[in-house]
Amino acid sequence: MRNIDVPGAKEIFAKQDELLKTFTQNCGYIKALVAIHEAVREDYFFEKMRKLRSKNLYDRSALEYYNKYGTVGEF
């Protein structure tokens, strides 16, 4: 489950370990581990996608503005 080659793996595992500190290791721990791992990985993925979308939106809006007013880049 701990594949360090995955982009963002360190952040995912750090968050997962932080959340799992509150659990006692018993038979329910494994189910919690899997659920928390999936949730943290999903959260990381959606956060990355949100950042990419917002940067893309900013770049497109800036390009529109520069074309509209005939300017070149920010100050």
Residue 6 CA, distance from chain mean position: 12
Q: Within 10 Å of residue 16's Cβ, how many Cβ atoms?
A: 19
Whether the predicted pLDDT of 1 surpasses 70? no
C-alpha distance from residue 60 to each of 5, 34, 49 (Å): 32, 39, 16
Q: Within 10 Å of residue 66's Cβ, how many Cβ atoms?
A: 13
Q: Within 10 Å of residue 65's Cβ, how many Cβ atoms?
A: 10
pTM above 0.85, yes or no: no
Assign 3 a pLDDT band (cuts: 50, 70, 90): low
Write the pLDDT tens digit of every residue in 38-67: 888 888 888 888 888 888 888 888 888 888
The reported pLDDT for the residue numbered 34 is: 85
